Amino acid sequence: MALSREVFEPEHEAFRAVVRSFLEERVLPRHDQWEADGVVDRSVFIEAGERGVVGFNIPEEYGGGGASDFRFNAVVVEEMARLGVSGPGFKLHNDIVAPYLLTLASPEQQQRWLPDFAAGRSIWAIAMTEPGTGSDLRGIRTRLTPTPGGWRLNGAKTFISNGILSDHVIVVARGVDAQPRREISLVVVHRDSPGFARGSKLEKIGLRAQDTAELFFDDVFVPEADLLGTEGGGFAQLMHNLPLERLSMAINAVATSKAVFEETLTYTRERKAFGQPIASFQNSRFRLAEIATELDITGTYIDRCIQAAARHELSAVDAAKAKWWATEMQQRVVTACLQLHGGYGFMKEFRVARAFVDGRVQTIYGGTTEIMKEIIGRDLGA
């Protein structure tokens, strides 16, 4: 039996019950159709807002729940992972976009954007990655050219989650002739902005219900009122908020791995080969024991990171450690579980098969494993 978790308080578990009920009632029954469509029904964001599954970390004055404790974020991530519902971009909404709006938006911008954000009436995305740049933020080519009253935005972004549904996009761009890490700014582009266009939904091998798109900016006018944070301060702003994004991915990795492992354990106890349960073979027992141990040890570190995030003390290095280790563990665990399922593990109706393709991107987006190790290594002075 695993050690009991000490990270959550009664209020978090009460919130977990609300999230679980909402996902089971309003998301899980529709998820297969969303997988086929390649996009979720945007009404699910409004439903999530009504139940407090999104917007809980937005101040009450703007219609949110006023819960700034990151442990509430962790609950949503864990419950979505438990059910394998990857389509609705709630994690992007709560864990990635919300911190930018809460820490960088001016009072006027918050008044303009946060009420609809909290209610799920507006869907947001953040556009960092470009064709040819990947994890290298210093290679960003999308440009902001000064013009009376604001800037002209030109460039392209790719692999943007919520790219099709989004009403507002936080775009990472740099000033003309700016040097690496300098003059990167964050601006908000709206759905109806002239010159803003979306490509078709990108066809992915996994996470098929989560809409992902290319975005194009052809001389888009960005007024001064839609600059997020300070001009030229974007790199530091990105570095400040990326740790929470990476921790969210690590939480998802552990929760997904646990859910797949529990189903695999049940399967191997019931499935027989040569007249006995698969789990009774020594090789199977040893592999299951290895997975259980790795899950417990990794989960303990991730819980420590969740507690640090709740205290606003999570460092970029600790988040990098959590992200690369947990997501690489996810690859090992899910692959081993698929193997223990035999041929059935290759069938789409089995959770392990979906987890196998959905989870593969975990070591890539949000900063690759190699980038995470680079962050840690530099901190060591290596």
User: DSSP code of 228?
Assistant: E
DSSP result, 62-110:
GTS-----HHHHHHHHHHHHHHT---STHHIIIIIIHHHHHHHS-HHHH
Rg, C-alpha atoms of the chain: 21
Long-range contacts of 9-15 (CB under 8 A, 24+ apart): 9/71, 12/69, 12/71, 12/72, 12/75, 15/52, 15/56, 15/72, 15/75
> What's the CA gap between 261 and 288, in Å, rounded?
8
Name the residue type at position 66: G
Token representation of residue 86 = 């990857």
CA distance 123 to 207: 18
Active site residue 313: no
58 touches 102 (CB < 8 A): yes
Query: How many angstroms separate the most distant Cα atoms in the chain?
Result: 79
Q: Hey, which residues does 143 pair with through a beta bridge?
A: 154, 174
Number of C-beta neighbours around residue 275 at 10 A: 5
Per the residue annotation, which of 35, 79, 245, 294 is the catalytic one? Answer: 245
CA atoms of 172 and 85, how far apart (whole Å) = 28
* Residue positions annotated with a catalytic role: 245
